[in-house]
Structure 1
């Protein structure tokens, strides 16, 4: 190719790329109030979520309303009381996965290295306790080809557990040990000590209730995954397998009353593979089909669209004025 031809190709490429840039900027301008700007994670009443890999905020229930997009990039995200956790894979010769804890303005305050594909994230209501889950490959005991690593970080003490698989587990009241134990989908109670999660072992999944200070967990029931505790602490929403994985609808969202242990299927008929979050004490929200939806937690009503092109929903809450409580027990057992 001659020098003139190369110059012509380069000029055309520059024009084409410039056109893409202008088109993208115009689209972003129509879609967002402030792309790359600051999103206040503690601005109560705002819905936080991930769009196109960046953390954003909007008014709940306004699918076509204005959206503010930050410069914080995450594959999975959650926030409460001005503390956020951003689970992200950083590119490089060997890609690295991190759980990055951020303040209310999205500024990094701590990171914990992990490995694998970001999958779940949670922050306790006070902002003190943080958890994340990643899918990993290569564990020889796992015949399915992948397993999970779930970490927990106490932001007050700075103590981090990169993988909680060594927690003392009890099934049917007996101490349980197996090489294939995997945990995922942690959700915290208001005392920052009690939590719920999923454990899988030998082809079965269990809902477990954990005690962070004593570093132990006990199975409550089978077939309940990715729990999410209601703000009032009385109910859990989880996904339950209702059909084989090969079926078009293998999962169904259910609510569990912790006082009676009675479960209720929710009105969302589609299969939802997500850890739901609570919009309020009566409503849960979740990612489905690239959007965020909501449905009543009592089994009635019908699903409604909250936001388009969104995932990892969380309702922003302001930090409480009082100090943190709970989780004061010694960690020496670990």
Structure 2
């Protein structure tokens, strides 16, 4: 076979391969649009009143129209029709007048952003993320926003994952990466190269808790924004969430397995005593929980046999109650009280 014939064969194969790729891509896009344009699997209403009254704000995961958009339901009636906005987020946290939105911008090369929106859905500030969105929290007075993204990996069960956790003001001013803070373990500064930080929960505008991991050990750290320190106060605490009364931390704790087979169970830690109690949830909870009130936590779980769909569950912290379905087709809940 001559070189000319060989090149013609290669060219023909390439054209066929490219054509097949285009066909597959068009088919996938068509199926995606059909799913997005189908009627929503959840009862929805217009978005104009989505930010009124005591409410739970969340990411809508009901298949069909409105999938992936920020939505809300009344706190007093979480089974009511959800008010759906026009803003798409992968992760959301809300305050009275604004909400923090982490988003994947899909394209040939995906990009990742964090945006603080006013409730009219107009951007207040935005900044880039280093990778896949993971966690976000707004401080009680709405002056600070924390974001966590995966620099490498896409789950906390992955081996060798890396995270970037940033603090910003409401105006978008960067207050730095937590890796630039001084980490204090057993009373002494530590600067391990394998350190990772994630899962911020604010006490006020200068103090917060977060997760730190190094040497295979996960710590609960107390952050001081003025001193730029992170002080380890307990081990085995991941994705902390401070209770409304400020006395307890809800978190996820490894109870079996490791790596991709790790199993997390929700737990409660008393900050005054350091004692913790595992809660009666047998399923794997890989989430930063939200407090519904001082006696109940909320968290998201994948819906069985329905990729991309999730539900929000409620669990009393009395150590006896069973989990109950709180909001169907929802993710990343945030409780807002006016």
TM-score using structure 1 length: 0.81
Alignment correspondent of 1:5: none
Q: Does 2:122 correspond to 1:122?
A: no
Matched with 2:242 is 229
> Could you list the runs of 5+ residues in structure 2 that have no partner in the other structure?
1-25, 61-66, 303-309
* The one of 48, 53, 71 aligned to 1:56: 71
| Secondary structure of the corresponding residue to residue 242 of structure 1 | strand
- 1:167-206 matches, within 5 Å, as 167-189=181-203, 191-206=204-219
Write the distance in 1 (CA, Å) between the matches of 2:262 and 2:54: 32
The answer on whether the counterparts of 1:75 and 1:88 sit within 8 Å (CA) in structure 2 is: yes
1:163 aligned partner: 177
How many angstroms apart in 2 are the aligned matches of 1:133 and 1:240?
19
The reply on whether 1:33 has 2:53 as its aligned counterpart is no
Q: Does 1:303 align with 2:323?
A: yes
Q: 1:146 Cα deviation (Å)? A: 2.5
Residues 191-213 of structure 1: CA deviation (Å, up to 9, x unaligned):
32110000111111111011111
For the Cα contact (< 8 Å) 1:39–1:106, is it kept in 2?
no
C-alpha deviation, 1:317, in angstroms: 2.9
For 1:272 and 1:29, how far apart are their aligned partners in 2? 24
Instruction: Report the counterpart of residue 45 of structure 1 in structure 2.
Output: 54
* Alignment correspondent of 1:134: 149
Q: Distance in 2 between matches of 1:24 and 1:149?
A: 32
Q: Deviations over 1:20-77 (max 9, x none)?
A: 86x966723962112xx34644x34211100121100113475642111111100111
Which range is displaced more, 199-208 or 245-254?
Answer: 245-254
Q: Distance in 2 between matches of 1:281 and 1:78?
A: 18
What is the Cα-based RMSD across aligned positions, in Å? Answer: 2.5
- The question of whether the paired residues in 1 share the 8 Å contact of 2:73 and 2:79 is answered with no
Alignment of 1:1-334 (within 5 A): 27-28=39-40, 31-34=43-46, 37-38=47-48, 40-41=50-51, 43-51=52-60, 52-60=67-75, 62=77, 64-137=79-152, 144-155=159-170, 158-161=172-175, 163-189=177-203, 191-245=204-258, 250-289=263-302, 290-318=310-338
Kept in 2, the 8 Å contact 1:135–1:148? The answer is: yes
Is the 1:61–1:306 Cα contact (8 Å) retained in structure 2? no
Q: SS in structure 1 opposite 2:39? A: helix
Unaligned runs of 5+ in 1: 1-12, 319-334
CA distance in 2, matches of 1:178, 1:246: 21
Q: By how many angstroms is 1:233 displaced? A: 0.7
Structure having greater relative contact order (Cα 8 Å, sep ≥ 6): 1
